[in-house]
Structure 1
């Protein structure tokens, strides 16, 4: 078992910028494409992913000090500390349920593709950790009984089957609004919001007055001119957050420029990434058309490829102070949002998809999303603390529980959890 876990750990630690080009190269060759074309496409994708991570790193490094200062300045105190999604991933990939669930997810995707139940071919193995975390929690509560392992595998199959279907469902909007042709997002934390943001948007369309408010990129640039451009939105939002945190002028200016840079650079990195993916996507389309006429296949990738739209970043930044306020006014919430506030971009992609980039409606969706995340992250804190104590006790904090917003963002995955634990308690 240690050898198997070591193998999975090696793959995860190699990172997406190394392993994704390898996976794409193997996939392209399997699809019958020329080696030289596929090799160039795979390397281009890897370089783009490095660039994407650098820009995301810039955003995290720019915003994190501001978040910490906001918490300090306004005396915000809760006792379940958000230590970030990497801790959740470490827990998920560090338990002995990994091989069972990994194989279950692969089998689920292959079977659904073969039967025509999904169009998504998921190659984003790093984000299997979402299903792995729920499975690990079931095994923990079931005290590692045989039944708990069976239920953990069943929960993974159900949760990933749902995410494949959601990814198929929203793919046309991803292509139309985010420019992701032939790409889907089987990323649980990013797309679970679609289950309520789309119905909610339908309801907003029925409300007089509300339905006519349309703050899109084009409308804002038309009305505000220079101030409506992505770089100016970044300057205003970044600088505004730093001012609210009462930071010195130098830091305010650095934050404003950093966020402006993120809003300009992200779309450039996404364009380069799509250049690399286009060859593989076309190859997959030709392969399916030749062998299964009329069938379409999407390449399933990490939601990082979807955050190039300026409003995805803008809504995430605006949601930082809103989420902090919600954490301290909502009854029963014990989470102190910190680390994952800097990656709210991933959790708010489906805030803009249903409304085609309407920032006003995205604020409504984002607020509802944050409320759900905070309550689920509060509920998960005791389990997260216990699991982390097994995997990496050094990350625990004396006198406090630990959690993260990420495990709250994968909302629907908790439904099988709540059902299955009734059989093992």
Structure 2
């Protein structure tokens, strides 16, 4: 059985999302009656879009990563837990037997729940991000040696994320303008309850009146408010902070200008790539409408897409980049924190997607929410780093050479999903049953009031008092 899951993992790693997601899109299009030419074109556009996202993000990361490293080194603060990034975490997750067992199991669970109409989110189209469940399950298995408890944890986490994804699906799809698409990355979706709560609170505090988003900035400041110019300024500012002690050197100014222009380029290029990706789903949307009309019974469902598709949306990218120096500074002064966020600071635009979508692109709301949530996340990283390091050492001892503790800020700095892990770690039946019962209560409550909840998320940024209409 493990050999089968190893093969699945190898296929996923070999071909990647840029091949497997388009294939999935082609299959779905054919099942919905789309002809071969249109189905193939949709798959190809999807592949081109995803590849474009990766090319832009990877190129930008290679340029900005040394700048972020310089910011950390210049601060001169010693924090013993090093953030090695989500990439190393994914490798660790796909290298554990318990992780691979769940990976195979997750395919059947996610497909089954969709076709049984337990959820209207088709999650298998983003199989890759299951590694986020797998790493938590691997840690629990290492500590308890209980395979069933570890599998149950991952299944329960998956159920919660599917629920959160369905709650946010229309809001995410509307905001990022990908028809009938949603995001199911566990390490981002777990922020949903906090994002909704903070959006309500900040709205009542007057943040709805703060029109701090890329569109309003462009209206007020013309070219100086355009996302491209904002990227130029932010990129330059980060590089200046990173090289403030070498501003007299010509090489430093080369780094500053490269950082500035690269950030401006991402802000300008990413929306165009996003347009290509979004066009891949036009055929599927038309087929969906046609099928619904013919049958007279419409099922509203959403296809999960990789979180990379939202990375470069102007408000998302601006929020994430602004948070880079903020979260680095907080890490240095936060009492109890032992984690130095490094590699995953570049993932902050991914990490704020839910905040940005729920607040309808309000940068002020998103930054405040992000600062609070990710500060709590730093403390979570400091708590679970010893467990994570043990798993990493078993998989690849070189990752922890020199006695360092490691963590992924982007994957592990999430309080809700970490609390589920800590609850299962106690092996207390009452706590575990309580978490499971809570899921079913939330699931059936959402199903009963789905229209009101989804409508509220669409309207709540207009008037903070609209919360009353839902009660």
User: Could you state the TM-score of these two structures normalised by the residue count of structure 2?
Assistant: 0.84
Q: 1:410 Cα deviation (Å)?
A: 4.1
Instruction: Please say if residues 355 and 361 of structure 1, whose CA atoms lie closer than 8 Å, have aligned partners that are also in contact.
Output: yes
2:42 alignment partner in structure 1: 41
Kindly indicate whether residue 111 of structure 2 is the aligned counterpart of residue 97 of structure 1: no
Matches of residues 202-281 of structure 1 in structure 2 within 5 Å?
202-207=200-205, 209-246=206-243, 248-281=252-285
Matches of residues 4-19 of structure 1 in structure 2 within 5 Å?
4-14=4-14, 15-19=16-20
Deviations 1:158-201 (A, max 9, x none): 21121122122122222332112100111112222121011111
Matches of residues 163-178 of structure 1 in structure 2 within 5 Å?
163-178=161-176
Q: 1:44 Cα deviation (Å)?
A: 1.6
Q: 1:68 Cα deviation (Å)?
A: 0.7
Secondary structure of the 1:76 match is coil
- Name the CA distance, whole Å, in 2 between partners of 1:75 and 1:46: 43
1:142 alignment partner in structure 2: 144
Q: CA 1:305/1:286 → structure 2, altered by over 3 Å: closer, same or farther?
A: farther
- Point out 4+ residue stretches in structure 1 off by more than 4 angstroms: 284-292
Q: CA 1:12/1:172 → structure 2, altered by over 3 Å: closer, same or farther?
A: same
Q: 1:221 Cα deviation (Å)?
A: 1.3
Structure 1 residues 31-40 or 103-112, which shifts more?
103-112
Instruction: Please say if residues 289 and 295 of structure 1, whose CA atoms lie closer than 8 Å, have aligned partners that are also in contact.
Output: no
Q: CA 1:290/1:131 → structure 2, altered by over 3 Å: closer, same or farther?
A: farther
- Name the CA distance, whole Å, in 2 between partners of 1:202 and 1:406: 25
Q: 1:105 Cα deviation (Å)?
A: 2.3
- Name the CA distance, whole Å, in 1 between partners of 2:233 and 2:341: 23
1:156 alignment partner in structure 2: 154
2:52 alignment partner in structure 1: 51
Q: CA 1:291/1:156 → structure 2, altered by over 3 Å: closer, same or farther?
A: farther
Q: CA 1:287/1:164 → structure 2, altered by over 3 Å: closer, same or farther?
A: farther
Q: 1:287 Cα deviation (Å)?
A: 4.8
- Name the CA distance, whole Å, in 1 between partners of 2:428 and 2:397: 26
- Name the CA distance, whole Å, in 1 between partners of 2:127 and 2:293: 26
Q: 1:84 Cα deviation (Å)?
A: 0.5
1:124 alignment partner in structure 2: 126
Unaligned stretches of 5+ in structure 2? 247-251, 430-471
Deviations 1:215-269 (A, max 9, x none): 1222211221111101001000000111111261111111000000011111111
- Name the CA distance, whole Å, in 2 between partners of 1:108 and 1:90: 23
1:391 alignment partner in structure 2: 395
RMSD of aligned residue pairs (Cα, Å)? 2.0
- Which of 347, 361, 375 is 1:371 aligned to? 375
Pairs aligned (count): 420
Q: CA 1:284/1:142 → structure 2, altered by over 3 Å: closer, same or farther?
A: farther
- Name the CA distance, whole Å, in 1 between partners of 2:289 and 2:155: 26
Q: 1:304 Cα deviation (Å)?
A: 0.9
Instruction: Please say if residues 4 and 99 of structure 1, whose CA atoms lie closer than 8 Å, have aligned partners that are also in contact.
Output: no
1:64 alignment partner in structure 2: 65
User: Could you state the TM-score of these two structures normalised by the residue count of structure 1?
Assistant: 0.93
Instruction: Please say if residues 192 and 409 of structure 1, whose CA atoms lie closer than 8 Å, have aligned partners that are also in contact.
Output: no
- Name the CA distance, whole Å, in 2 between partners of 1:102 and 1:292: 36
Instruction: Please say if residues 59 and 342 of structure 1, whose CA atoms lie closer than 8 Å, have aligned partners that are also in contact.
Output: no
Secondary structure of the 1:402 match is strand
Q: 1:291 Cα deviation (Å)?
A: 5.8
1:315 alignment partner in structure 2: 319
Instruction: Please say if residues 328 and 341 of structure 2, whose CA atoms lie closer than 8 Å, have aligned partners that are also in contact.
Output: yes
Q: 1:3 Cα deviation (Å)?
A: 2.4
Structure 1 residues 230-239 or 70-79, which shifts more?
70-79
Deviations 1:301-339 (A, max 9, x none): 111112232111111111111111111111111111111
Unaligned stretches of 5+ in structure 1? none
Structure 1 residues 209-218 or 379-388, which shifts more?
209-218
Q: CA 1:350/1:226 → structure 2, altered by over 3 Å: closer, same or farther?
A: same
2:107 alignment partner in structure 1: 106
Instruction: Please say if residues 315 and 362 of structure 1, whose CA atoms lie closer than 8 Å, have aligned partners that are also in contact.
Output: yes
1:133 alignment partner in structure 2: 135
- Which of 333, 339, 345 is 2:337 aligned to? 333
- Name the CA distance, whole Å, in 1 between partners of 2:296 and 2:9: 36
Structure 1 residues 252-261 or 38-47, which shifts more?
38-47
- Name the CA distance, whole Å, in 1 between partners of 2:295 and 2:105: 26
Q: 1:24 Cα deviation (Å)?
A: 2.2
Secondary structure of the 2:303 match is strand
Instruction: Please say if residues 315 and 348 of structure 1, whose CA atoms lie closer than 8 Å, have aligned partners that are also in contact.
Output: yes
Secondary structure of the 1:180 match is coil
